[in-house]
Amino acid sequence: MWRYLPVLLVLCFWQILCFLGTVPNYVLPSPIEIMEGLGTLLTTGMPPGHLLHNHILYSLYRVGWGFSIACALGIPLGLLMGWFPLFHRVLSPFVELIRPIPPLAWIPIAIVWLGIGIRSAAFIIFLGAFFPLLLNTASGVLSVNPILIDAARTLNATQKDIFFKVLLPGSLPSIFVGMRVGMGVAWMTLVAAEFSGVKDGYGLGFMIMTARDIQKPDQILAGMLIIGMIGFIIDWLFRAWESKIRPSV
């Protein structure tokens, strides 16, 4: 834990600067004020009555939907793209054209199509997570050593056996990379998607935008801290899951 010592020192320095009034606290609140802001988010809520844990639950709910749909479509399509060269050739031009459009640029059309609410938010998150999942899965299949497929064939494996017992486990490390990158993008996309309005008044992005509207930088920064920490915890959970089911290497 010694490697976090420099962070601690910077926090102390920051606190001192704020204490001396070198930095005005309406621009940058001190670490202690941010902690107090966090306390307010937990107890009073922002806007008042809308408590932090509910914001977190709503955000996770949206990400859960968008990410699940991205997995359900991206992983199978990625496997097919890696396995069938023809499918790869047909799908690639679409991917190349659509992928460079930032997910956030889809927000207006998503609202036109799906209205403001969980469906459009989930759609934006889906777009963010889908392409990393699709492309990592496809490249995972392509990276499976062809000699392993030959070995399976000489042991009388059918196409179905090769798919489920060679290609799928062989591309699992890449699928995990895709899930971690996809989840990272999904989480980033979520907060921005919530800026543009949520119907039910909950969500971490909505929360910090509301805090901005009423000039509460301590609560904005506390909210940012929470968003970062949840992203970190989710990534940590994925890594723990991966090392549990793939105990080698």
Partner 1 sequence: MHLELIGLGKTFADGKQSREIPAISSVNLRVEQGQLVSIVGPSGCGKSTLLRIISGLEKSFEGKVLLDGQEIVKPTNDVGLVFQQYALFPWRTMCENIEFGLEIMGMCKEERRAIAEKYIHLFGMQGFEDRYPCQLSGGMQQRVAIARTLIMNPKLVLMDEPFGSLDSQTRNDMQEFLMDLRRERNDTILFVTHNVDEAVFLSDRIVVLSKRPAKSLRIFELIAPHPRDRTSKESNDIRREVIGILRQERISPSPAAN
By CB under 8 A, which span of 101-109, 110-118, 122-130, 149-157 interacts with partner 1?
Answer: 149-157
Cis amide prior to 47 (ω within 30 degrees) = yes
By CB under 8 A, which span of 1-9, 48-56, 79-87, 154-162 interacts with partner 1?
Answer: 154-162
Instruction: Tell me which residue of 125, 108, 116 sits closest to 234, measured CA to CA.
Output: 125
148 lines the binding site for partner 1 (CB under 8 A): yes
215 lines the binding site for partner 1 (CB under 8 A): no
Residue 165 contacts by C-beta under 8 Å, 6 or more apart in sequence? 152, 157
Q: Are 169 and 248 in contact (CB under 8 A)?
A: no
147 lines the binding site for partner 1 (CB under 8 A): yes
- In the complex with partner 1, the residue whose CB is nearer, 148 or 224, is 148
Instruction: Tell me which residue of 214, 231, 224, 230 sits closest to 38, measured CA to CA.
Output: 224
213 lines the binding site for partner 1 (CB under 8 A): no
Contacting residue, 170, 178, 182, 203, with partner 1 by CB under 8 A: 170
Give min distance, CB of 161 to partner 1, in A. 5
By CB under 8 A, which span of 50-58, 77-85, 97-105, 142-150 interacts with partner 1?
Answer: 142-150
Contacting residue, 23, 157, 192, 225, with partner 1 by CB under 8 A: 157
* Helix, strand, or coil (residue 183): helix
Distance CA 243, CA 236 (A): 11
Distance CA 239, CA 173 (A): 11
Give min distance, CB of 155 to partner 1, in A. 4
166 lines the binding site for partner 1 (CB under 8 A): yes
155 lines the binding site for partner 1 (CB under 8 A): yes
DSSP 119-176: HHHHHHHHHHHHHHHHHHHHHHHHTS-HHHHHHHHHTT--HHHIIIIIIHHHHHHHHH
244 lines the binding site for partner 1 (CB under 8 A): no
Contacting residue, 2, 154, 214, 215, with partner 1 by CB under 8 A: 154
Instruction: Tell me which residue of 44, 65, 67 sits closest to 55, measured CA to CA.
Output: 44
Distance CA 70, CA 84 (A): 20
The 3 state secondary structure assigned to 96-123 is: HHHCCCCHHHHHHHHHHHHCCCHHHHHH
By rule CB under 8 A, what string of x and - marks binding of each residue 84-123 to partner 1?
----------------------------------------
Contacting residue, 145, 199, 239, 241, with partner 1 by CB under 8 A: 145
- In the complex with partner 1, the residue whose CB is nearer, 30 or 137, is 137
Residues that bind partner 1 (CB under 8 A): 145, 147-148, 150-158, 161, 165-166, 169-170, 172, 246-249
